[in-house]
């Protein structure tokens, strides 16, 4: 499946085959694609919590107002981000770059994010959003369907997955084999309304 077909056929599926299991190789392939997603300063601040324990998935389902795709999909991924990734051993983000480049980027990174709580949070959500699209399009290219979800109690989910306090949970993605197709698109805006040239 080419990229454009994956984009055009990706839909938010709500009903998954609960008996279907993805292979370990497929799961690894999906995460290997996810970690190629771009991040600011290459700080790779996303963290992908792959929840496989049935008990934890049931708890997350309760924290997501009973939505069945939480437990029925083959994969449940909580996309989180480390708000302080910019300051954690930052030189490793450029370990393969020339030393002068690594030194320059580490210095710029600290100056850009240090003390900027809102920017750190904005960056976390940007990074997770980009990675989420990578996961969903990769899943579609592999013949699977997905659903991005924000309908959950983030505080409750944070406790269930023992998320550190200096992280944020951005969204959940479920991936699996659709049991029934998504509804038809409900009202796509035209490009004339959303694509602007030079100014508003």
CATH 3.40.190.10 fits 3-194, yes or no: no
> Which residues, other chains included, contact 63 with Cβ-Cβ below 8 Å and sequence gap of 6+?
152, 153, 156, 157, 160
The pTM (predicted TM-score) of the whole model is: 0.95
CA-to-CA distance for 61 and 165, rounded, in angstroms? 22
> Is 19 strand, coil or helix?
coil
> Which residues, other chains included, contact 68 with Cβ-Cβ below 8 Å and sequence gap of 6+?
14, 15, 61
- Tens of pLDDT along 73-115? 999 999 999 999 999 999 999 999 999 999 999 999 999 999 9
Among the listed residues 180, 172, 138, 142, the one whose alpha carbon sits nearest the alpha carbon of residue 22:
142
- Tens of pLDDT along 137-150? 999 999 999 999 99
Domain boundaries, the chain: 3-194
Q: What does the pLDDT average to over 4-8?
A: 95
């Amino acid at each position: 499946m080419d990229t454009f077909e994956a984009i055009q056929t990706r839909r938010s599926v709500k009903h998954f085959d609960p008996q279907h299991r993805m292979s370990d190789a497929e799961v690894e392939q999906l995460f290997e694609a996810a970690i190629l997603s771009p991040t600011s300063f290459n700080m790779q601040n996303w963290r992908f919590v792959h929840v496989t324990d049935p008990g934890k998935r049931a708890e997350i389902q309760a924290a997501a107002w009973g939505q069945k795709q939480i437990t029925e999909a083959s994969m449940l991924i909580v996309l989180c981000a480390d708000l302080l990734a910019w300051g954690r051993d930052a030189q490793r983000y450029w370990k393969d770059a020339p030393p002068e480049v690594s030194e320059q980027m580490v210095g710029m990174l600290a100056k850009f994010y240090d003390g900027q709580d809102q920017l750190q949070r904005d960056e976390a959500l940007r990074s997770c959003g980009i990675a989420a699209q990578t996961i969903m399009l990769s899943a579609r290219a592999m013949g699977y369907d997905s659903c991005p979800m924000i309908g959950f109690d983030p505080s409750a989910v944070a406790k269930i997955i023992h998320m550190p306090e200096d992280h944020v949970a951005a969204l959940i993605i479920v991936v699996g084999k659709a049991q029934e197709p998504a509804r038809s698109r409900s009202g796509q805006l035209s490009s004339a309304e959303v694509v602007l040239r030079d100014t508003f």
